[in-house]
């Protein structure tokens, strides 16, 4: 057990501070505090010794020198069971410090505020991290708290143990504090590196039912100390616990959904779109999305960019689905789904999805990691060039744009047939682009959807004319692709031969 006789406070976030101090005072704990923290305790009529009085050294350099003093660090680092350390305490006239309560200068908030570089530099904490590191090193004798959410547990332990705290709590608190320290330093390093993430500290938000398969454990992680956002912050209104695969599919559905401003419905199965529809109303968009591949939609995920109302819910009432995502659900819509106890209903922040996309993607490989910028946005839709003799009609332009938006989110090699309102056939994940084209045609035929006059989208260039020939024979009259093949002239000639129109985007969208 660690008996707390003296506590040092130095916090930027003062929430819960006074309640913690009052609980400690019941056990006659002596307080030392810096600057504004000391003022807050004094305002609450709690006796406190300011750091400068404790050290005998005034604050200097506008607060840059405050807690960096042997009387602070000696009191934290002294080993209570080490005779040499105890002798040094006496020789140097130092006193032990048993509890360190610190949170750092708000570097992340200052950085996000857009303040000038001099303000960002002044937000780099030196004294706080130094005290935390010292307390972690000596956690067998010193407790360190870096998060106000820890205060309640400490207070309970103090009450249960008459002012003492078990060593296992101190070790767990040290682990949490050191992780916070590493995360803080990584964010400073990220700024020095021009925004490039060199070190990413993650925390487990919660365990998942299992990983991709029942024999694999799974967890949901988020960046340490970050405010919940995205799917981590999404609210689950109903249904079973989300699984690893549910979250992967949800991520894929929302990334695709973010491409649309008009009412849209996206259906995902195994991280791949199996139907997308756009319309003036959400029920109609959903009906169009379902037309592409109703069979594959079974057990899939549906995502909407408008509130789920009763009319839209009625379209899905008799379907088996794993998850439905929407910015909101009306009470009438929830009533429609009330009998589906396992169906997960998830709300998300549509504004955040549109305006705060993920910036980087990271994947583990054997012995390391791969990182890349997220493939966000479609600026090429404003810079396309017509490669064929015939230019697209307005209807073909609309169909090509829809095919291209969906194609970006289909596993490579990706081929998407679409009209101006919904997808008609999707071929995904094949080793040959012509195979993907043939599968997309087969899917459209199985759904009894007419391809004549539609657009065909390809996530990368056609290396040969064979894939384009498949699309032409199926009835496509317009093609959208990046271009850039050594056989572009051959493919353009094939399109002209078929009387097709074809545009080059100049940008590829592989998705592996």
Note the pLDDT of residue 275. 96
| d(C-alpha 495, C-alpha 504), whole Å | 12
Contacts 24+ apart (CB under 8 A), 208-212: 208/241, 208/242, 208/243, 208/244, 208/247, 209/240, 209/241, 209/242, 209/243, 209/244, 210/243, 210/244, 211/244, 212/244, 212/245
CATH 3.30.1330.10 corresponds to the domain 2-192: no
Cβ burial 376-407 (10 Å sphere, 16+ → b, else e): eeeebbeebeebbeeebeeebbbbbbbbbbbb
Note the pLDDT of residue 62. 67
Which are the contacts of 118, defined by CB distance < 8 A and separation ≥ 6? none
Q: What is the chain's pLDDT, residue by residue, as a tens digit (512 residues)?
A: 888 899 999 888 888 999 999 988 888 888 998 888 888 999 888 898 888 888 777 776 766 677 778 888 888 888 888 888 788 888 888 888 999 999 887 878 888 788 888 888 888 877 888 889 999 999 999 999 998 989 999 999 988 888 888 888 999 999 989 888 888 888 888 888 777 767 778 888 889 989 999 999 999 988 877 778 889 989 999 999 999 999 999 999 999 999 999 999 999 999 999 999 999 999 999 999 999 999 999 999 999 999 999 999 999 999 999 999 999 999 999 999 999 999 999 999 999 988 877 777 888 888 988 888 889 889 999 999 999 999 999 999 999 999 999 999 999 999 999 999 999 999 999 999 999 999 999 999 999 999 999 999 999 999 999 999 999 999 999 999 999 999 999 999 999 999 999 999 999 999 98
Other CB atoms within a 10 A radius of the CB of residue 322 amount to: 22
CATH topology of domain 379-504: Cytidine Deaminase; domain 2 (3.40.140)
- 37: which 2 tokens? 């923290």
Strands (E), 366-461: 368-373, 385-386, 415-418, 423-427, 455-458
End-to-end CA distance of the chain: 53
Is residue 19 helix, strand or coil? helix
Q: Which helix (H) or strand (E) holds 364?
A: strand 360-365
Looking at the annotation, which residues are catalytic?
A: 137, 270
Ranges of CATH 3.40.50.1380 domains, the chain:
2-192
Note the pLDDT of residue 271. 92
| d(C-alpha 38, C-alpha 55), whole Å | 14
| d(C-alpha 478, C-alpha 468), whole Å | 10
Other CB atoms within a 10 A radius of the CB of residue 361 amount to: 11
Residue by residue, DSSP assigns 141-163 as: T-EEE--GGGHHHHHHHHHHTTT
Q: What is the CATH number that goes with domain 234-354?
A: 3.40.140.20
Note the pLDDT of residue 126. 79
Ranges of CATH 3.40.140.20 domains, the chain:
234-354, 379-504
């Amino acid at each position: 057990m660690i008996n707390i006789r003296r506590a040092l406070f130095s916090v930027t976030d003062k929430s819960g501070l006074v309640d913690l101090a009052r609980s400690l005072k019941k056990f006659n704990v002596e307080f030392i505090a810096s600057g504004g923290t000391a003022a807050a305790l004094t305002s609450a009529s709690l006796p406190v010794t300011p750091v400068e009085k404790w050290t005998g050294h005034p604050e200097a350099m506008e607060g840059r020198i405050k807690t960096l003093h042997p009387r602070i660090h000696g009191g934290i680092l002294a080993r209570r069971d080490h005779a040499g350390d105890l002798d040094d305490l006496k020789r140097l006239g130092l006193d032990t410090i048993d509890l360190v309560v610190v949170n750092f200068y708000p570097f992340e908030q200052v950085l996000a505020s857009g303040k000038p570089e001099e303000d960002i530099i002044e937000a780099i904490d030196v004294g706080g991290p130094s005290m935390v590191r010292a307390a972690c090193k000596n956690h067998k004798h010193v407790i360190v708290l870096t998060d106000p959410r820890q205060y309640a547990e400490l207070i309970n332990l103090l009450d249960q143990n008459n002012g003492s705290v078990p060593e296992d709590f101190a070790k767990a608190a040290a682990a949490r504090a050191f992780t916070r320290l590493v995360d803080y330093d990584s964010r400073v390093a990220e700024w020095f590196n021009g925004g490039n993430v060199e070190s990413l500290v993650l925390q487990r938000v919660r365990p998942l039912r299992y990983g991709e398969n029942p024999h694999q454990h799974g967890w949901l992680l988020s960046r340490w100390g970050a405010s919940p956002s995205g799917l981590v912050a999404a609210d689950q209104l109903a249904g079973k616990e989300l699984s690893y695969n549910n979250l992967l599919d949800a991520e894929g559905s929302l990334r695709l959904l973010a491409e649309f401003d008009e009412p849209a419905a996206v259906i995902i199965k195994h991280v791949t779109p199996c139907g997308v529809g756009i319309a003036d109303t959400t029920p109609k968009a959903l009906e169009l999305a379902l037309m592409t591949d109703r069979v594959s939609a079974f057990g899939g995920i549906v995502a909407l960019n408008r509130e789920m109302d009763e009319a839209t819910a009625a379209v899905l009432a008799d379907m088996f689905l794993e998850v439905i995502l929407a910015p909101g659900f009306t009470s009438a819509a929830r009533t429609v789904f009330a009998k589906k106890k396992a169906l997960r209903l998830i709300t998300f922040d549509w504004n955040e999805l549109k305006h705060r996309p993920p910036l980087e993607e990271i994947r583990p490989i054997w012995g390391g990691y791969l990182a890349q910028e997220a493939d966000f946005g479609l600026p090429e839709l404003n810079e396309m060039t017509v490669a064929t003799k015939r230019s697209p009609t307005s209807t073909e332009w609309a169909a090509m744009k829809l095919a291209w938006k969906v194609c970006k989110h289909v596993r490579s090699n990706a081929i998407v047939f679409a009209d101006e309102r919904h997808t008609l056939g999707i071929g995904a994940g094949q080793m040959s682009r012509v195979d993907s084209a043939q599968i997309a045609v087969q899917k459209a035929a199985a759904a009894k959807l007419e391809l004549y006059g539609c657009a065909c989208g390809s996530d990368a260039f056609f290396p040969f004319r064979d894939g384009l020939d498949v699309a032409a024979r199926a009835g496509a009259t317009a093609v959208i692709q990046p271009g850039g093949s050594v056989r572009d002239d051959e493919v353009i000639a094939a399109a002209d031969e078929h009387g097709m129109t074809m545009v080059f985007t100049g940008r590829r969208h592989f998705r592996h």
